[in-house]
C-alpha cells in the first residue's frame, strides 16, 4: 500500500496523446496524482475519457508555448506533434512547441524544484551513418528540410535541458524515443504502422515508400512507458540521453506482409517514391538503457503488439 508521502503530483504535457494517455494510465495505477495538460491539437479527449472520473486525475486544456503555473513534483514533457502529417501541418508551431514548450516547462521545474523528463526522439539522429544508433552519435540532420521543424526542434529542446541542468542544477532526464506503436494511435497520423493497418483493414492497397528495404524498429507502447518511468526514477546523477525502443529491426516490406497476414486482408502492396529526408534505417542501441534502467528490455514482440493494435483499430471501425 502506497503511503501518502510517496504519492507524487505528476504533470504530463501532451497527456491526451497516444503516448501521454498510456503514461497517465500507468502513473495513476502507481498511486500518483496526475495533471494531464494538452491543447488537443493532435491529442484527443477520447484517449483520456476513461480517466476523467478518477479522483486523482485532472485535465487542463493548455498550450505549452504559454507559461503554466502549477505545483508539481515531476514533469513528463511529451507535448509536440510526433507524426510527419501533423508536425508538417504547421511547422512553425511545431518548432515553437518543442523550443518554447521546453523553456516554459524547464522554467516551471526550476520554480517548483521538480524533476523533469524530456520525451526526445530518434529523429535527432536524422538519416544516420552509424547503425545501430548509440547515444554518443551526434546525428546527420538536414536543418532546412521539411522534417527539420521536428528534428531540430527536439535537438534544441535537448540543448535547453542540458543547459538548465548545468546552469541551474535542474534534475533532468532525456529519453530518445524510437518508433512506438499500440492502441490509441491516431488512424490518420501518417505513421507507417497505423497507415498499413488502416489500409489493410479497408482492403486498400498497402503503400510502401521506396522499395521497402528501409528499416525501422518498433516498440510496443507498454514497454516504452515502462522505460520512461524507470528513467524518471533513476538517481539525479543520471541525466541521459538514453535510447528507448525495441532493437528488433524490420524492413517496411516485412512489416506490410505481417500486417496483411494478421488482418487477413486481400490488400496488394504497392510502391511509391520515397519522401525527402526519409531515413533509410533506424535501430536503437539500447545497451545504456539496459544498464541504467534496471535491466529494462522490451517484452512485447512485433506480432503480439500488432495483433493488439489491429484489434484496437478494428473495434474503432465497428468490426469487433
Catalytic residues: 150
C-alpha dist (Å) from residue 317 to 17, 18, 140, 156, 201: 20, 18, 39, 39, 9
Report the distance separating Cα 316 and Cα 261, nearest Å: 20
115-121 and 172-177 beta bridge pairing: parallel
DSSP-derived 3-state class of residue 101: helix
H helices within the chain, ranges in order?
18-29, 45-48, 84-87, 91-112, 148-168, 192-202, 221-232, 252-263, 287-292, 302-316
Residues 149 and 298 sit within 8 Å (Cβ to Cβ)? no
Amino acid at each position: 500500500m502506497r503511503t501518502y508521502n510517496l504519492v507524487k503530483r505528476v504533470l504530463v504535457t501532451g497527456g491526451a496523446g497516444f503516448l501521454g494517455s498510456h503514461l497517465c494510465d500507468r502513473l495513476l495505477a502507481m498511486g500518483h496524482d496526475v495533471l494531464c495538460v494538452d491543447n488537443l491539437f493532435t491529442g484527443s479527449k477520447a484517449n483520456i475519457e476513461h480517466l476523467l472520473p478518477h479522483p486523482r486525475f485532472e485535465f487542463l486544456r493548455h498550450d505549452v508555448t504559454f507559461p503554466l503555473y502549477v505545483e508539481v513534483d515531476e514533469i513528463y514533457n511529451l507535448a509536440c506533434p510526433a507524426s510527419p502529417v501533423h508536425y508538417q501541418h504547421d511547422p512553425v508551431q511545431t518548432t515553437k512547441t518543442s523550443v518554447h514548450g521546453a523553456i516554459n516547462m524547464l522554467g516551471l521545474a526550476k520554480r517548483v524544484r521538480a524533476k523533469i523528463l524530456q520525451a526526445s526522439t530518434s529523429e535527432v539522429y536524422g538519416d544516420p551513418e552509424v547503425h545501430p544508433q548509440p547515444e554518443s552519435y551526434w546525428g546527420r540532420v538536414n536543418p532546412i528540410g521539411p522534417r527539420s521543424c521536428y528534428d531540430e526542434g527536439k535537438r534544441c529542446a535537448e540543448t535547453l535541458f542540458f543547459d538548465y541542468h548545468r546552469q541551474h542544477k535542474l534534475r533532468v532526464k532525456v529519453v530518445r524515443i524510437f518508433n512506438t506503436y499500440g492502441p490509441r494511435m491516431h488512424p490518420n497520423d501518417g505513421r507507417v504502422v497505423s497507415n498499413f493497418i488502416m489500409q489493410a483493414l479497408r482492403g486498400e492497397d498497402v503503400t510502401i515508400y521506396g522499395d521497402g528495404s528501409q528499416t525501422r524498429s518498433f516498440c510496443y507502447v507498454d514497454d516504452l512507458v515502462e522505460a520512461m518511468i524507470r528513467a524518471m526514477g533513476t538517481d539525479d546523477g543520471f541525466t541521459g540521453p538514453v535510447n528507448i525502443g525495441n532493437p528488433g529491426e524490420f524492413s517496411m516490406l516485412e512489416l506490410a506482409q505481417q500486417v496483411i497476414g494478421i488482418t487477413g486482408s486481400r490488400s496488394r502492396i504497392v510502391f511509391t517514391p520515397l519522401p525527402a529526408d526519409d531515413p533509410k534505417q533506424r535501430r536503437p542501441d539500447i545497451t545504456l538503457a539496459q544498464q541504467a534502467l534496471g535491466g529494462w528490455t522490451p517484452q512485447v514482440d512485433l506480432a503480439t503488439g500488432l495483433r493488439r493494435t489491429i484489434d484496437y483499430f478494428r473495434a474503432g471501425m465497428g468490426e469487433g
